[in-house]
């Protein structure tokens, strides 16, 4: 039997996997030690759990466990990467390259640095939301110290040509950071294969707990210098002071372990469900548009615009289906999606967009119900639209003329 409400907003957050919760429970109860306490077994057990998690994360992204720095999540990881590199390298240069559709944690960090005397280049994207590696190459100057391009976009799912961009960075001896929050655990992201120097990860985007993340910082060939944002006990190679969130770290590690074994099969299943939802919608509705790349896209994201419909009104009509009209980090605003605007999507279409985020526990039955409900609501809202009536009338007259 179909259970409601239906959750299809997995790019905002994901439910905690039961296996992750099981792994965390001892460290939320009786195994409560501080991982920095070196004088007794409570601390030793906590430290061992942290090191196990480091190894699990390192196995997923193929790095050395010592290159994992634990943070509170994606926003802190992005801030630490961008500001930390900027401050540590300001004698070498003051120029950073990013793109217009990055997560707000990157864009706002860059805007902050602009006020501190740094120069930022915000590269455009094409109609699919993709950065041209040649644009990256052309933007590099002798004062460039960092390039930060996300692995996959959180609103439309477009996967960036990361390895090509990394090669441009390496050719000019510039550090390369990638916000891979939406990609890790969903597609294969191996830092050495892709040429990434720093990479942001967040647990709650792939069935781990909220409030825990990590920043991969290359520790070899040569070691990367980064200025910490927090000062205190010198934890995490002196890059992130603060008592470690042991239960969260254990959960993040377990989520990575699960992703390592299920990612490929799970991705295939989600593509089938995503494409089924898309085909059902376009077969029943006219004047709909796919946003994002048709093939180079995360398996679970479907972003569509429904002409002659206000996206917020559509969301209100889908009372028992959890979807979104854009990024959860910018929800609550009346502005058009800055991602879609940067892609050249007209404002009216941008305002009629819905992001469906499918995940581990969605079923075909839920997909079919969602398609039916969206179709019903779009048709209802279009009946109230004078513009759609004009278009329909024009089509009818055109058919009669033929």
The tens digit of pLDDT for each residue in 231-257 reads 998 899 889 999 999 999 999 999 999
Q: What value does the mean pLDDT take over residues 63-88?
A: 98
- Amino acid 398: pLDDT: 38
Structural class in CATH, domain 6-12+263-393: alpha beta
Q: Which tokens go with 168? A: 């441009």
pLDDT digits (tens, 9 = 90+) for 354-366: 999 999 999 999 9
Q: Please determine, for residue 265, whether its predicted confidence score (pLDDT) is greater than 70.
A: yes
Q: Name the pairing type of β-strands 288-291 and 213-217.
A: unpaired
Q: Running DSSP on this structure, what letter comes out for residue 297? A: B
**401 DSSP 8-state letter:** H
Is 184 in contact with 77 (CB distance < 8 Å)? no
Return the pLDDT at 185: 98
What pLDDT shows up at residue 213?
Answer: 98
Token couple for 87? 């401050």
Of 137 and 398, the structure prediction assigns the larger pLDDT to: 137
Q: Which is more confident, 234 or 199? A: 199
345, pLDDT greater than 90: yes
The whole-angstrom separation of Cα 25 and Cα 320 is: 31
Q: Which residues contact 227 (CB under 8 A, 6 or more apart)?
A: 83, 84, 85, 86, 87, 88
Instruction: Tell me the average pLDDT of the chain.
Output: 94
- Is pLDDT at 391 greater than 80 in this prediction? yes
Q: Is 63 a catalytic residue?
A: no
Q: For residue 217, what pLDDT is reported? A: 97
DSSP track, 145-191: EEEE--SB-TTT-BBP-HHHHHHHHHHTT-EEEEE-TTTBTTB---H
Residue 392 makes CB contacts below 8 A (sequence gap 6+) with none
Tokens of 2: 């179909």
Instruction: Sort strands 288-291 and 301-306 into parallel, antiparallel or unpaired.
Output: antiparallel
Phi-psi region for residue 333, left (φ > 0), alpha (ψ -120 to 50) or beta? beta
Burial class of residue 391 in the structure, from the number of CB atoms within 10 Å of its CB (0-12 exposed, 13-18 middle, 19+ buried): middle
> What pLDDT does 329 receive?
53
Average pLDDT over residues 305-320: 95
**Strand-pair partners of 202:** 213
Q: What's the predicted TM-score (pTM) here?
A: 0.94
The tens digit of pLDDT for each residue in 369-379 reads: 999 999 999 99
Look up residue 224 and give its DSSP letter. Answer: P
Mean pLDDT, range 178-194, rounded to an integer: 98
The CA distance from 157 to 150, in Å, is 11
d(CA 305, CA 308): 9
User: What does 94-160 look like in DSSP terms, one character per residue?
Assistant: -EEEEETTS-HHHHHHHHHHHTTT-EEEEE---TTS---HHHHHHH--TTEEEEE--SB-TTT-BBP
Structure letter (DSSP) for residue 66? G
Residue pair 101/230 in contact (Cβ under 8 Å)? The answer is no
Could you count the other beta carbons within 10 Å of the beta carbon of residue 306? 24
CATH architecture label of 18-259: 3-Layer(aba) Sandwich (3.40)
Please give the pLDDT value at position 399. 42
CA dist., res. 355 & res. 346, Å (int): 17
pLDDT of residue 363: 98
The two domains 6-12+263-393 and 18-259 share their CATH topology (first three levels equal): no
Residue 331 reports pLDDT greater than 60:
no
Strand partners, 68: 216
Residue whose structure tokens are 């985007």: 205
SS3 371: helix
Tokens matching residue 89 = 């390298």
Tens digit of each residue's pLDDT (9 = 90 or more) over 112-138: 999 999 999 999 999 999 999 999 999
Whole-number Å distance between alpha carbons of 259 and 94:
38
Domain residues of the chain, as ranges? 6-12+263-393, 18-259
Measured distance CA(44)–CA(131) in Å, rounded: 46
């Amino acid at each position: 039997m179909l259970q409601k409400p239906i959750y299809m907003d997995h790019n905002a957050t994901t439910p905690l996997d039961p296996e992750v919760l099981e792994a965390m429970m001892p460290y939320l109860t009786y195994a409560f030690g501080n991982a920095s306490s070196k004088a007794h077994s409570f601390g030793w057990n906590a430290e061992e759990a942290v090191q196990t998690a480091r190894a699990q994360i390192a196995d997923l992204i193929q790095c050395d466990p010592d290159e994992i720095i634990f943070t509170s999540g994606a926003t802190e990881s992005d801030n630490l990467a961008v500001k930390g590199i900027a401050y540590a390298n300001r004698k070498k240069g003051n120029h950073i390259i990013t793109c217009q559709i990055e997560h707000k944690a990157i864009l706002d960090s860059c805007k902050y640095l602009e006020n501190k005397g740094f120069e930022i280049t915000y590269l455009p994207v094409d109609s699919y939301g993709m950065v041209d590696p040649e644009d990256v190459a052309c933007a590099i100057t002798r004062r460039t110290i960092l390039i930060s391009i996300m692995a996959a976009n959180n609103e439309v799912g477009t996967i960036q040509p990361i390895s090509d961009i990394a090669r441009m960075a390496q050719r000019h001896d510039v550090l390369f950071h990638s916000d891979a929050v939406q990609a890790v655990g969903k597609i294969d992201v191996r830092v050495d294969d892709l040429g990434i120097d720093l990479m942001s990860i967040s647990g709650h985007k792939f069935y781990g707990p909220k409030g825990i993340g990590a920043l991969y910082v290359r520790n070899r060939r040569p070691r990367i210098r980064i200025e910490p944002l927090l000062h205190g006990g010198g934890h995490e190679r002196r890059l992130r002071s603060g008592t470690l969130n042991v239960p969260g770290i254990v959960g993040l590690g377990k989520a990575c372990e699960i992703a390592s074994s299920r990612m490929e099969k799970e991705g295939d299943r989600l593509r089938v469900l995503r494409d089924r939802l898309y085909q059902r919608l376009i077969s029943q509705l006219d004047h709909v548009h796919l946003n994002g790349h048709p093939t180079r896209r995360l398996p679970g994201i479907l972003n569509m615009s429904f002409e002659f419909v206000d996206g917020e009104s559509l969301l209100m009509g889908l009372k028992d289906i959890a979807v979104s009209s854009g990024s959860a980090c910018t929800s609550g605003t009346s502005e058009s999606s800055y991602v879609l605007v940067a892609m050249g999507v007209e404002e009216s279409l941008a305002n009629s967009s819905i992001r469906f985020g499918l995940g581990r526990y969605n079923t075909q039955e839920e997909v079919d119900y969602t398609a039916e409900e969206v179709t019903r609501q779009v048709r209802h809202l279009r009946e109230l639209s004078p513009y759609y009536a004009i278009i329909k009338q024009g089509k009818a007259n055109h058919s009669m003329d033929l």
